[in-house]
Chains A and B, each alone.
Chain A
Amino acid sequence: MEKKSVFKRFLYSQKAAPYVFILPFVLTFFVFFAYPIVSTIMMSFQRVAGDNTTFVGLKNYKTLMNPVFYKSLKNSIFYMIVSCALMIPIPMILATMLNSKHMRAKGFFRSMMFVPALTSVVVAGVMFRLMFGELEGSFMNQVVSYFGADPVVWLRKPATVWIALFVLCLWRWTGVNMMYYLSGLQQISGDLYESASIDGATSIQQFRFITLPLLKPTTIYVLTISIFAGLAMFTESYLLFNGNKSPNNVGTTIVGYLYRMGMEQNNIGIGSAIGVLLLIIVMVINVIQLALNGTFKKGE
């Protein structure tokens, strides 16, 4: 009885409370993240085969030095860079325009822009796969034929595959990023613009010298999530090609290759090695990001 109440008193103390509050995270972290990360690292040095698992040193990493892996790495990085280049300026400009005091029906447009993000990637994938079909009657081919061009085999040529992937990305995420920018814009005081316009600054100057610098925290945040989402892109490609099998690997990403090795061809060791490499890339970018972030803070 005595013991229980001591325990109870401890549990209710101000010292113990924070640990109780963060306990759910700590538990899931150790079980579902820390252990798998360690396990991935270990398996990347093994040939995994049930009871006959053997240590193979760096063999898995050496195996990875092949053109397909390089290609998937290149694809992922290219996708990441271009998607960042698209997904920051476009939503930012749209948000600024939407935030303009001359804009009517803001709420309506804002909600409509967000709707694509609500659709499942599966639905979006099916839709885009059919829209970018190679048939003459497929929507995109009707569009290009309207401009007098011949039908295009969209999903089997590298250039057009990228167009499809970026259109899909723009379509789904513009509304979301715009929302982030809108909330960033709410935090900029209207007085700044008023005094600027009294000083005779044009709208473009206002954007350049007030909006852009003050949106920096939002931009950093959007950039961060875009980088990680870009690097981890897989599902979009999986659905656009109805399986992890784009012709000539035009749409194979790092994660796609990981999935192929680990889940499809049962080379878990090699799959883990890809995972470790991806982890390292993410960490490096993270460190760079934090460093830049820090310098930004000093500058402000």
Chain B
Amino acid sequence: MKKRILSSILCVMLAASMLVGCGGGSSDSGSSSGDDAAAEESGGGEDGMTEGKNTFVDGGTDLSLWTFQELHVGFYTTMADLWNKENPDNPINLTVTTGESHSLQSKLLVACQAGEGTPDIADIEVGYYGSFLKDGYLLPLNDVVEPYQDEIVMSRVKMYGNEKDWYGVDFHLGASVCYYNMDIMKEAGVDPATIVTWDDYMAAGKTVLEKTGKPMCAVETSDLFLPQLMMLEKGKQYVDDSGKPDINTKEHAETIEFIREMIKAGVCEVAPGGGFHTEEWYGHLNSGGVASLAMPLWYMGRFTDYCPDLKGKMAIYEIPVWNEGDTREVLQGGTGTSVLKFTEKEQLAKDFLAFAKLSEEGNKYEWNELGFDPIRTSLWDDPEITENKDNKFLQYFATNPFDIIKKNGTDLTAPNIAGGYSATYSVLVSTTYANAFEGDLETPAADMLETEQATIIYDE
């Protein structure tokens, strides 16, 4: 009897859930699209979370776009509306789809392989970009980027391709900086402005540890920002000029040994959760568990989103270097947005992409809403941007990021992501750094890298 009652209760719940489910879906498609074409297209599946559309226009050309970041949806749809306002004769109806990063990009890769089922435009994370470039799945964007080329930092664009052909446009400049928790630094009595070299950083770290008991910095085992930064400062890449994986280098070994020294001294810890994009890490950071962090400027948004307790306490300074006088101008991370070669609307997709990412309007949106340091140099001197009291990023940080951007100028060192970079990246973030910084701190880095180099599978 009891069982009967339980099962009937469950059945009622199920029926209720289905009703709600269907109801929710249909009311949604009615309100958000406001257009028959849109509803017809998606069959009521669109909503704020995983799919976005701009306001569709009659006679507009359909464009599809994949991204792995929900925040990008609003950006693209806003830009599509803006495009339609400025180009009433050639409007677009944009559908943006998001999903989990790894699976979405694997799906995109396999769709490219099959030559079918790709969107017109896609966001591709820098770690995956090489795979797409290698087999020629992307279209060069030179003709649409050229009109903007004097107004933007070209090393960010050339990174997605080579000197001659440019295939991707990023959301941001992505200049690397050092974020300091000023509460901890003050307690230790260290002024971040005096830290110039990594040796200074190490010495400051020891003071911080002594005075506060907290580590100066953290290193990831599931990503590569700190070692990559140090490598780029040495002018060394993970792949050689022809794109072949090349991780068994003297510079790389030195970098690893230096980070290990910091770990052994207690100055550096392995990031909780293994990376700077995990909840464990955000919690640790927010509770003031670490004194500083070297990451690109786009990481500002993570602070404002996940570390509310640190508001006003974080300051942005330049990154340390190996020798005084070395370049402190390095680009890291990023997302190359590209037009897939399988598109049937090549020109429109390219035009829209350049407009969204490189125009002044687009860059303003990226900075104001997403906290992305603008790739357009004109914005760096616009007081309405750089001194905007209402901007949540400028409010959050104690120092102004534009001071560093302006000082760095436009000649920045970008990672070489060509050829075997994707395969290399995958090995580095799955085994190399997990081994080097957590699993086995004793094996000499040079020996370790020799073995690691052998496991990279790069099929030219």
Contact = CB atoms under 8 A, between A and B. Distances in A.
Direct contact of A and B (CB under 8 A): yes
Interface of A: 47-50, 63, 66-68, 133-135, 156, 243-249, 252, 260-261, 263-270
Contact of A266 (B135, B221, B431, B439): B135
B459 A248 contact: no
A263 B454 contact: no
Interface of B: 102, 106, 109-110, 112-113, 115, 131, 135, 221-222, 272-274, 280, 283, 422-423, 426-427, 429-431, 434-435, 438-439, 451, 454-455, 457, 459
A264 B426 contact: yes
Contact of B451 (A67, A156, A244, A249): A67
Nearest to A111: B3
Contacts of A50: 113, 115, 135
B102 A243 contact: yes
Contacts, number: 79
B457 A265 contact: yes
Contacts of A63: 457, 459
Nearest to B460: A47
Question: Lowest 4 A-B CB distances belong to which pairs?
Answer: A247-B434, A248-B434, A243-B102, A263-B106
A50 B114 CA distance: 7
Contact of A261 (B272, B427, B438, B457): B457
A192 B293 CA distance: 72
B430 A245 contact: yes
A265 B426 contact: yes
A249 B430 contact: yes
A245 B280 contact: no
B182 to A, nearest CB: 26
Nearest to A264: B106
Contacts of B283: 135
A133 B280 contact: yes
A68 B435 CA distance: 13
Contacts of B459: 47, 63, 267, 269-270
Contacts of A244: 102
B110 A246 contact: no
19 contacts: A49-B135, A63-B457, A66-B455, A67-B451, A67-B454, A133-B280, A134-B273, A134-B280, A156-B274, A246-B430, A247-B430, A247-B434, A247-B438, A248-B434, A249-B431, A252-B430, A263-B106, A265-B131, A265-B422
A136 B131 CA distance: 39
A159 to B, nearest CB: 12
A99 to B, nearest CB: 21
Contacts of A267: 457, 459
Nearest to A158: B439
A264 B426 CA distance: 10
Nearest to B113: A266
B280 A135 contact: yes
Contacts of A270: 457, 459
B206 to A, nearest CB: 25
B454 A245 contact: no
A264 B222 CA distance: 16
A135 B434 contact: no
A269 B221 CA distance: 29
Nearest to B131: A266
Nearest to A108: B3
Contact of A67 (B106, B112, B434, B455): B455
A135 B430 contact: no
Contacts of B112: 266
A249 B222 CA distance: 11
B221 A66 contact: no
A269 B280 CA distance: 38
A43 to B, nearest CB: 11
A252 B430 CA distance: 10
A247 B109 contact: no
Given A67-B454, A246-B430, A264 B274 contact: no
Given A246-B430, A247-B274, A265-B131, A68 B106 contact: no
